[in-house]
A and B are shown apart, each in its own frame.
Chain A
């Protein structure tokens, strides 16, 4: 980059870029006449883990592809590292790590070759790549498969390799589109641990997920997306506090009896924030005190087959905000 251009970029961005590594206003993505992302605003700050939570088709991947400077923005403004993706895509991408929803590994190449070749795309020298590739294979626990083809690796191993590959250029921002979908619980925990360590090392994480526990574990802040819009924003705790009650009593009645029970239970509610959600297989009572709600149901002669009292989670927030369950 030439000197005057750098100076100009510096002058333009020194104040706001310091706050937000990524900032979007009215960000919109349309495919023909279909609007996948409908004018969303958000900022991602340096060093935080920021999540997009939402059901299938919410527009998470479309947003990620715009942040990744792959898909052009239809309308609105987007700045990444203070730069405009429309004009400085390659320079921005040089500082990003991208884990796409679908792997793009070359199945014919070995683990090592996949990392090496990808590093070369960033213009890295062979000498710089050699130790980096070894380090990343170690990080992904794939050192033993270094010279094995990628094709026969398990889904979890391929995912770990994709994540390792995304780190080849020591990115400032790591974009992870459903990093753990399709992994078994143990593999997910290993990945969470890896991501947590990256965050400790100062990497800014942006991830999408439909897993509540993942969002709660990893994200400092998140937005809930639905139908291309942001319907809520905050830390997991803030969202729960703002959109749900402290406790949830889950009462399971005989199949077909849940709706009728929910009807009668509305009388058992107190307080204006308390409410009832009737799902096909169970009734959820959003209340301050779960045990008392269960007791009240007994008082009005409603005896569920089973009952359980738990704390509110993001799942409940999502149900509240969209009227739909997150995992379908």
Chain B
């Protein structure tokens, strides 16, 4: 009997974080249509209102940008959209898993570990960002917002940017115990200003010194530079490596922080 007791579990495979992604895919069967519709409407609105409308004004007032305004802003919008989706998906939905529907507590009573639950949730957000950014880019292309194939690299750039931020937000979601008021502060005082101070609408050389420093800190600016470099060029390899390195620092510290907070929250 002793041997029977300690026999290794006869289960086919050790589960991985991908099982958590699979769970999200099953759940997404119910809402993928609205996800796609939103993923189409958002870029359409931006293209029409800002890219085309504002673009006419900007393009008529001298062409210092060197490219049509839509081509200038499209990669930046794409990156900003990725960041916003990442922040939204890593906030309240994750908090629900800890607090309201408690699904994460169910996951860690299986062989899954808190680290895997964390990784799985982040991977799922990455999948969403890749899909959403591709959709975004397709729509931009349809309206003449792209000029060369290199622009495809805006998709990984936007995904990296989103994930760098999502991992930090996920850590926060694992910490917050109240009804999530911390997220409202985050959206109002971090996410929205980031959109305005990251060179989305105009190069940050137009900003005063303090504004430029905000941009240097913001992951969105680094992502925007990468995506825009992909779309219209003019980005040196050294600068690209610097931007990637900065975002990687955010991502790695964010993931480590998030895993740690998931462990603390799920193993009380």
| A interface residues (Cβ-Cβ under 8 A, vs B) | 1, 6, 9-10, 13-15, 17-18, 21, 31, 46, 68, 70-72, 81-83, 89-91, 93-96, 98, 100, 102-109, 113, 116-118, 120-125, 128, 169
User: Besides A70-B266, A96-B109, 17 other CB < 8 A contacts?
Assistant: A70-B267, A71-B267, A71-B268, A72-B267, A82-B6, A90-B111, A93-B109, A100-B106, A100-B109, A109-B27, A116-B26, A117-B22, A117-B26, A120-B22, A121-B23, A121-B107, A122-B111
Please name all residues of chain B whose beta carbon is closer than 8 Å to the beta carbon of A83 when the two chains form the complex. Answer: 6
Please name all residues of chain B whose beta carbon is closer than 8 Å to the beta carbon of A121 when the two chains form the complex. Answer: 15, 19, 23, 107, 110-112
Please name all residues of chain B whose beta carbon is closer than 8 Å to the beta carbon of A94 when the two chains form the complex. Answer: 9, 11, 110-111
Which residue of chain B has the shortest Cβ distance to A83 in the bound complex? B6
Please name all residues of chain A whose beta carbon is closer than 8 Å to the beta carbon of B267 when the two chains form the complex. Answer: 70-72
Q: Can you spell out 12 A-B residue pairs with CB atoms less than 8 angstroms apart? A: A17-B6, A31-B268, A46-B5, A70-B108, A70-B267, A83-B6, A93-B111, A103-B102, A109-B27, A120-B22, A121-B107, A122-B110
Complexed CA–CA distance, A232 and B9 (Å): 34
Which residue of chain B has the shortest Cβ distance to A10 in the bound complex? B6
Distance of A29 from chain B, by nearest CB (Å): 10
Given contacts A13-B2, A93-B109, A117-B22, contact A122 B15 (CB under 8 A): yes
Say yes or no for B33: interface residue by CB 8 A criterion. no
Contact residues of B between 1 and 26, Cβ < 8 Å to A: 1-3, 5-6, 8-9, 11-15, 19, 22-23, 26
Please name all residues of chain B whose beta carbon is closer than 8 Å to the beta carbon of A125 when the two chains form the complex. Answer: 12
Say yes or no for B212: interface residue by CB 8 A criterion. no
Please name all residues of chain A whose beta carbon is closer than 8 Å to the beta carbon of B27 when the two chains form the complex. Answer: 106, 108-109
| B interface residues (Cβ-Cβ under 8 A, vs A) | 1-3, 5-6, 8-9, 11-15, 19, 22-23, 26-27, 30, 101-103, 105-113, 266-268
Give the one of B15, B102, B111 with max A CB within 10 A.
B111
Given contacts A109-B27, A124-B11, A169-B11, contact A13 B101 (CB under 8 A): no
Which residue of chain B has the shortest Cβ distance to A91 in the bound complex? B9
Do the beta carbons of A104 and B106 come within 8 Å of each other? yes
Which residue of chain B has the shortest Cβ distance to A169 in the bound complex? B11
Given contacts A117-B26, A118-B106, contact A91 B2 (CB under 8 A): no
Which residue of chain A has the shortest Cβ distance to B24 in the bound complex? A117
Do the beta carbons of B8 and A1 come within 8 Å of each other? yes
Do the beta carbons of A70 and B111 come within 8 Å of each other? no
Please name all residues of chain A whose beta carbon is closer than 8 Å to the beta carbon of B102 when the two chains form the complex. Answer: 102-104
Which residue of chain B has the shortest Cβ distance to A168 in the bound complex? B110
Complexed CA–CA distance, A106 and B28 (Å): 13
The 10 closest A-B pairs by CB, nearest first: A104-B106, A14-B2, A121-B110, A94-B9, A90-B111, A98-B109, A18-B2, A123-B13, A123-B15, A17-B5
Please name all residues of chain A whose beta carbon is closer than 8 Å to the beta carbon of B113 when the two chains form the complex. Answer: 89-90
Do the beta carbons of B106 and A13 come within 8 Å of each other? no
Do the beta carbons of B11 and A122 come within 8 Å of each other? yes
Neighbour of A21 across the interface among B5, B19, B109, CB < 8 A: B5
